[in-house]
Structure 1
Amino acid sequence: MWVVKLGGSLCTDALLPDWLALLGQLGGGRVALVCGGGTLADEVRSLQGRWQVGDLSAHNMAVLAMVQNAYLLHGLNPALQPVCREVDVLPTLRRGGVALWMPLELLRDQCDATTNWDVTSDSIALGLAQRLNAERLVVIKSCQVDEQLSLEALVAHEVLDRNFAAQARQSGMPIDLLSREQGGEMKSLLLQGCRAH
């Protein structure tokens, strides 16, 4: 079982349908798909800055941005199967589907260690992968990803959120970072379980 995190910025990218078709065709029974908040989450940051609302409100708004984008993905590819509870991910995969996670369970009534901008959808996807004991996490970014850079360097370059590298070190699972143009790499991963070279 794999968790695939699709960057929210891809929700306005012409390649989005191709990515969804690939994951829908080859990810059945294996992939739990997580979508980032993208421009909707960017608007949350802007509104928080304008009105100075607390991190708890911003966190809940950003989680709902992820949910809205997941509905977009489902609208574009109805074969993706929405799941609102983590416990429903594995049963969906056992039925041969691609589980499209709607992270409503992450809405909070009180602040905790995750209700801040150090933890964005990248770390949220990694957390899901850890809780589900996934074999692999694949993070698909709209920007170029330099494969020579460490996770710490990618955090420093703001490709990944500030929490990601430390959390990844604890996970022990393989993590692949792909850019928007690397659909062929993703196809090789799904077919062979390894990176194409």
Structure 2
Amino acid sequence: MWVVKIGGSVARDPELLPLWLELLAEHGGGRVIVVPGGGAFADEVRAAQRSWGFDDRVAHNMAVLAMAQTAMLMQGLNPALQPALNEHQIRQTLRRLRPALWVPLELLRQTPDELTNWDVTSDSLAVWLAKRLNAERLIVVKSCEVPDEWQPDWPALADAGVIDRGFAGFACDAPFPIGLINKAELERMRSLLIEPAQAMQQ
């Protein structure tokens, strides 16, 4: 079971987003869970919070809805991706040999907790989900330049703005490899899906 996070910036790319979704739908049946970023929808949440000054719990809930909107966009582009609201639905989808698309409405909160702040965005939530599912690995697809190695220096990448501030805390005890892939590396991802053990050694 793999978790693949498609960054919100990738979701803005009209050329590459459909190719990524096609790749994951074609080779991810029964083992891939797609985590959507918030993309432009989350940017609107940030702008609204600056204008209206509501608290981070409200912003968190709005950002969760932004991720859900991106998920619906992805499913609209590729109906082979099966929306799943929670862990049970994700596992059911994989048992049916379909690729799962996480719609994270279970993360809506009535009271603040460790997830309800801007240090924790969809990057950290992908780690959170992967740990709950006992995933084999997590791959985060980014638009920016990323290091090639698995388990790179997460705090340094957070300082550089590549991942969010909460990522390192969630990733530090993850019992699975975590890697970043640039959105242009479709063939590398294809190799990982087809020959995972061999590709990780390259």
| Cα offset, 1:147, TM superposition | 3.1
For 1:53-68, list aligned pairs within 5 A.
Answer: 53-68=54-69
Q: What does residue 107 of structure 1 align with?
A: 108
| Cα offset, 1:172, TM superposition | 2.4
For 2:148 and 2:86, locate their aligned partners in 1 and report how far apart those are by CA, in whole Å: 33
| C-alpha RMSD of matched pairs (Å) | 1.2
**1:86-142 C-alpha deviation (Å, 9 max, x unpaired):** 211111101100000100000000111110001000110110000000000010012
For 2:68 and 2:178, locate their aligned partners in 1 and report how far apart those are by CA, in whole Å: 23
Q: Which moved more, 1:78-87 or 1:127-136?
A: 78-87
Q: What does residue 72 of structure 2 align with?
A: 71
**2:131 is the alignment partner of 1:126:** no
Q: Between the two proteins, what is the percent identity of the paired residues?
A: 54
Structure 2, unaligned stretches of length 5 or more? Answer: none
Q: What does residue 176 of structure 2 align with?
A: 173
Q: What does residue 6 of structure 1 align with?
A: 6
**1:138-176 C-alpha deviation (Å, 9 max, x unpaired):** 100121213365212111101111011121111121001
Question: SS of the counterpart of 2:48?
Answer: helix
| Cα offset, 1:47, TM superposition | 0.9
| TM-score, structure 2 as length reference | 0.94
Q: What does residue 195 of structure 1 align with?
A: 200
| TM-score, structure 1 as length reference | 0.96
For 1:28-177, list aligned pairs within 5 A.
Answer: 28-147=29-148, 150-177=153-180
Q: Which runs of 4 or more aligned residues in structure 1 lie more than 2 Å from their structure 2 counterparts after TM superposition?
A: 146-149, 194-197
Match of 1:135, as an amino acid?
E
Structure 1, unaligned stretches of length 5 or more? Answer: none
**1:9-60 C-alpha deviation (Å, 9 max, x unpaired):** 1122020010011000000011011100011111111110111110011000
For 1:154 and 1:130, locate their aligned partners in 2 and report how far apart those are by CA, in whole Å: 20
